[in-house]
Each structure stands twice: as C-alpha cells, then as structure tokens.
Amino acid sequence: MAVESSEKVRHNVFCRNYGDCLDYTIRKRWPGFSCQDCESYEQETLNGEELNDHYARCVAFALVSGVLA
C-alpha cells in the first residue's frame, strides 16, 4: 500500500515478499509503503547474502523516495 510519507509505517522486513514489495515501490516511485494491511505476510529467515540484498534494496528505495539525497 502506498503512503505519502514513510514515517511511522509498519514494515515486515523478514517477510518472504518484502523484496518484491520494495522493488514494486521503487518502480512506481512511491514515497513510501506500508505492510500494515497486507495479508500476504510469510515469515522468512535470511542468510548474510540475502540480508545484503535486502539492504541494497532498502538503500535504493531511500534514494528514490528522497530520504537520502
């Protein structure tokens, strides 16, 4: 779900779908998104390489949304 500001929103970073949601948000150039009303949550345990991938996507999202300039 798109939000106007990513301030005080719920993110389920250990969800199997989180990376896809980040990619979608980046492609749509949304300023933010929330997992609050999502019904697709699936618990995921990430290893080191997967954590690095998620980190890179989070940084890309922050750059696109203007949080990092």
Share above pLDDT 90 across residues of the chain, in percent, rounded to a whole number: 1
The whole model's pTM is what?
0.58
20-46 tens-digit pLDDT: 988 898 899 888 888 888 899 898 877
Residues 6+ apart with CB under 8 A from 17: 38, 40, 41, 42
Please provide the DSSP assignment of 29-55 as one string: T-S-B--TT-S---B----HHHHHHHH
